[in-house]
Amino acid sequence: MPNPVSPELLAKLRAAEGEGLSRDPKNNPRKTIKLLTDKDDELKPGSNWYREGARAGQYLIGDRLCDNFILTPILYLDAYVEWKPDSGGFVDTHYVLPADAKWDPKARCYFRANGNSVEDGADIVGLVDHDVCWLTFRGPAVTVARNFNSAAGALTVENLQLPFFGANWRIGSVEKRSSKGKIYWQTTYELVANVCKPGGPSWDDFDRCRALCCILMKSIKPATAAGVEEKTDQATSEPPFWENPPESDAPPPTGDDQPRTDEDLDKIPF
């Protein structure tokens, strides 16, 4: 067990927390968790990304293939995925709806002033074998992420709601068939155990996840409107976006909007 840090040194570390480090996403490459499907290059012999033995329904975590894995979730993020017009390709993932985005009920997505579309998504950041990994949900799979978040939010100890990182979960997949006969794979989740119970996170993991949650929340910035240059004073930066979110005139989807289906995935220009 590591030696405890003295109060004096701990105070110095707190005062200098994160100084000198870049929080720009390009300087912080993510370790991603990918649910493989029959369309992925990892399953196509001859592809540069082909992986022998890989099959649909498995997860690719870094260089490791697995059918399921244990996740300690840390942070749930609403994601807004921006695409260029006319299948022009992926632009960026925002974690606050861009201020110039407007909801189009017919297209069932948002559009920005530059003509780009913005789709709903979700990201869950968590620990897998002590590594920080990103599990992404796009299209109809966003419902799974929201249900997962809701299930985690229902966990309590002594009438106290556990944080997202208060339990371990087993993440797997299941093969499903749409109403039109199309086969697809869906992420599944199953509670393993709460913190400090057999199979649950240790208190060391709990403390680490709490610190990582704060770091991750500080590192994510809202999107700026098209054509607006963002100027930030590092020494006097504004409060995190969740304390003061940007306003948008985009009305949220209503219950009358036609829900997205698995077939909508084919319309997204991956």
Task: Compute CA 138 distance to the chain's CA centroid, rounded to the nearest angstrom.
Answer: 10
pLDDT in the model for residue 233: 43
* Residue with more model confidence, 123 or 251: 123
CA angle 252, 254, 257 (to 5 degrees): 115
pLDDT of residue 239: 41
Q: Work out the average pLDDT over 167-179.
A: 95
How is residue 73 annotated by DSSP? Answer: E
Higher pLDDT, 44 or 232: 44
What pLDDT shows up at residue 222? 54
Q: Taking the CA of residue 73 as centre, how many other CA atoms within 13 Å lie in the half-sphere pointing to its CB?
A: 27
Is 225's pLDDT higher than 60?
Answer: no
Domain spans of the chain, in order of start: 47-223+241-263
Over residues 95-145, the pLDDT tens digits come to: 999 999 999 999 899 999 999 999 999 999 999 999 999 999 998 899 999
Per the CB < 8 A criterion, the answer to whether 139 and 119 are in contact is: yes
Question: What's the CA dihedral at 259, 262, 266, 267 to 10 degrees?
Answer: 10
C-alpha–C-alpha distance, residues 65 and 251, integer Å: 41
**Rounded Cα gap, residues 171 and 148, in angstroms:** 10
Whether pLDDT at 250 is above 60: no
